[in-house]
Amino acid sequence: MQFKKYFVLGSLFILPLVVYLFFLSGVNNFYKLPVLSSQVSELDNFNGLSAEKITLDTHISILGFLGKDAFEQRGLAFNLNEKIYKPFYQFKDFQFVMVLPKGTEDAANKILTELGQYGDTSRWKFVFGADEAITSFFSSLKTDQVLDNNLACSKIFIIDKERNLRGRNDDEDVGTLYGYNPNSIEELGDKMKDDVKIVLAEYRLALKKNSANRKK
């Protein structure tokens, strides 16, 4: 009877620890979102709406290309805002970067104003560059996607703090998933949201490890 008592008490203490270590191991070994391409170019040849310097380095970025008809593409911005931005925008160093051609600043301001009716927009960043700069920057992603004649792309991308493009190399639908369809609520709510969670979890875990190591 005494043995049974200690066995139950021991199980209550040990089992949660085992479960915790199992999931911790899972995060380390199985749940890292693959790097599909590295050395994505920095935004050196682009300017923002203000004097703020916008960079990809040290940020987790959701990257999009709205093109010359940016205001006509505002629907995808609202989809992203609801499904991806709102759940995660308070995470430190997280940002949404929309790349547009020079001359579309008014359209970007209008989009920001409309987004502002639904909450905080501080993590939305719009950058503007020459047509050649946009083409060159897009090429550095090394994806299977193309820019259309308006310098827009139908996919949205995840870029990590080291300027790596993250995505799936074993997606059940397309095999290698470089980018996500912002016009598909299902894809945003399922695939992209899950993948953003994974990338954010990686950095949270790294921060905890660094903090623990400093305390030793």
Same domain? 194 vs 130? yes
CATH number at residue 109: 3.40.30.10
Q: Are the C-beta atoms of residues 25 and 59 closer than 8 Å to each other?
A: no
Same domain? 59 vs 130? yes
Q: What is the number of domains present in the chain?
A: 2
Split at pLDDT 50, 70, 90, the class of 1 is low
Q: Please state, as a whole number, how many other Cβ atoms lie within 10 Å of the Cβ of residue 30.
A: 7
3-state secondary structure of 183: coil
Q: What is the pLDDT of residues 126-150, one digit of tens each?
A: 999 999 999 999 999 999 999 999 9
Same domain? 92 vs 26? no
Q: What is the pTM of this model?
A: 0.83
Same domain? 23 vs 54? no
pLDDT of residue 31: 65
Same domain? 173 vs 74? yes
pLDDT of residue 152: 97
Greater pLDDT, 216 or 155: 155
Same domain? 21 vs 116? no
Same domain? 47 vs 144? yes
Q: What is the pLDDT of residues 184-204, one digit of tens each?
A: 999 999 999 999 999 999 988
The three-point CA angle 61-212-160 to 5° equals 10
Q: What is the pLDDT of residues 87-124, one digit of tens each?
A: 999 998 999 999 999 999 999 999 999 999 999 999 99
Of residues 130, 73, 116, 120, the one with CA closest to residue 98 = 73
Q: Please state, as a whole number, how many other Cβ atoms lie within 10 Å of the Cβ of residue 151.
A: 21
Same domain? 17 vs 70? no
Helices (H), the chain: 2-29, 74-80, 86-88, 105-116, 131-139, 185-187, 193-215
Following DSSP, what letter does each residue of 101-113 receive, concatenated? ETT-HHHHHHHHH
The whole domain housing 54 covers 35-215
